[in-house]
Amino acid sequence: MDGIIPLWKPKGMTSHDCVGKLRGILQTKKIGHTGTLDPDVEGVLPMTVGKATKLTSFITDHAKTYLAEVSLGQQTATEDRAGEVVRSTPVSDDLTIADCQSVLKQYKGEIRQIPPMYSAVKVNGMKLYEYAREGLSVERPVRDIKIYDIECVDDQLNRYDETDVRFSFRATCSSGTYIRTLCVNIGETIGYPAHMSHLVREQAGTFERHETVTFEQLEAAKEAGEVETYIVNPRRTLTQLPVYKAPDQDIIRFKHGQVLTIPDRLKETTLFRVETKDGDLIALYQPHPSKTNLMKPYKVLHT
């Protein structure tokens, strides 16, 4: 049982909780998740199974698309609605959705971001949220991220009260982007304290919302003996990489991660997938950094 399960993570569960539940359903310990989602967030969370767990970090690095809601007027300690309000400012009646749309455009492209204190980023061996819970301050590392696309999805502001004025946006961004922090930054540019009031991950890498499966569906499939129908071939997540079909006589050599002669057409690539003629993914390979005309393994699945 090796491959990817495009799970729809429900609210109320951590990504680690999802790993545990899936282990129970599939009766295997080799389960990995491809990017942390907070308990209050639902959305696409590809899960790696069996030998495909070797691809977990690679898949985690893929771009992701989110549907987020910003609440203007209040900033919270955690940068989402679960946190204590630390700053509050009434939002002017003159603010329009067009003002917000204009600000969103400024965030497209490469930007720098400081992760929130309530996050799992480590500084000196401790996670930032551990410092925050102890009331300690620490210098947070600056991250370079990229917003590939961002657009407002509302045609008007939703005014709940003078310190809770909301609008939603959709953003496709690089791995490591904190949407909570993006919401706070957008609010600051508009001119108000802000926090993220709602978030859904609509896409992760090559998997979109309509392709996902719920825990309820997986449990029903297990009862019917059909759970493997939801396990996707791991090569699905690697479609952007060139493919090399290994000759039959070389398959065992690739499975053992041997250094081999590289085909001319792949010498200028950075990474490519190696498959059998039937499309079974064997490994990821790359040009050898110091030995001309050779290639070396990056990840071997069949070991």
Q: In whole angstroms, how far apart are CA 234 and each of 2, 10, 278?
A: 8, 23, 14
Which candidate, 193, 211, 194, places its Cα nearest to that of 203? 211
Section 21-32 average pLDDT: 92
pLDDT interval class at 257 (50, 70, 90): very high
Tell me the Ramachandran region of residue 149: left when phi exceeds 0, alpha when psi lies from -120 to 50, beta otherwise: beta
Answer for the pair 59, 203: CB distance below 8 angstroms, yes or no.
no
Name the H helices within 114-243.
Answer: 128-133, 179-190, 215-223
Q: For residue 38, indicate whether it is catalytic.
A: yes
Section 89-111 average pLDDT: 96
Q: For the chain, which residues make up each domain, given as ranges?
A: 3-62+206-233, 67-193, 241-300
Answer for the pair 17, 7: CB distance below 8 angstroms, yes or no.
no
Residue of 2, 38, 99, 278 marked catalytic: 38
Above pLDDT 70, what percent of the chain? 98
Residues 6+ apart with CB under 8 A from 191: none
Residue 100 has a pLDDT of 97
Domain 3-62+206-233 in CATH: superfamily? Pseudouridine synthase (3.30.2350.10)
Helix (H) or strand (E) holding 49: strand 42-49
Flag the least confident range among 4-13, 114-123, 163-172, 291-300. 114-123
Residue 303 has a pLDDT of 56
Residue 51 has a pLDDT of 87
How does pLDDT run across 107-148, given as a tens digit for each residue? 999 999 987 767 677 877 777 777 778 777 777 778 899 999
Residue 18 has a pLDDT of 94
User: Does the predicted model carry a pTM greater than 0.75?
Assistant: yes
Section 19-39 average pLDDT: 90
pLDDT higher than 70, residue 85:
yes
- Decide whether 3-62+206-233 matches 67-193 in CATH topology: yes
pLDDT higher than 60, residue 22:
yes
One-letter amino acid identity for 228?
Answer: E
Residue 217 has a pLDDT of 96
- Can you tell me which residue has the tokens 């979109």? 208
Section 155-176 average pLDDT: 96
**CATH architecture type of domain 241-300:** Roll (2.30)
Most confident of 52-66, 177-191, 236-250: 177-191
Answer for the pair 207, 116: CB distance below 8 angstroms, yes or no.
no
Residue 237 has a pLDDT of 85
Q: CA–CA separation, 280 vs 236, rounded Å?
A: 11
Sign of torsion over alpha carbons 92, 93, 99, 100: positive
Q: CA–CA separation, 125 vs 32, rounded Å?
A: 22
pLDDT interval class at 252 (50, 70, 90): very high
Go through 269-290 and write b for each residue having 16 or more CB atoms within 10 A of its CB, e for each that does not.
bebbbbbeeeebbbbbbbbbee
Answer for the pair 201, 37: CB distance below 8 angstroms, yes or no.
yes
pLDDT higher than 70, residue 293:
yes
Residue 185, helix vs strand vs coil: helix
**CATH architecture type of domain 67-193:** 2-Layer Sandwich (3.30)
Answer for the pair 22, 47: CB distance below 8 angstroms, yes or no.
yes
How does pLDDT run across 195-215, given as a tens digit for each residue? 999 999 999 988 999 999 999
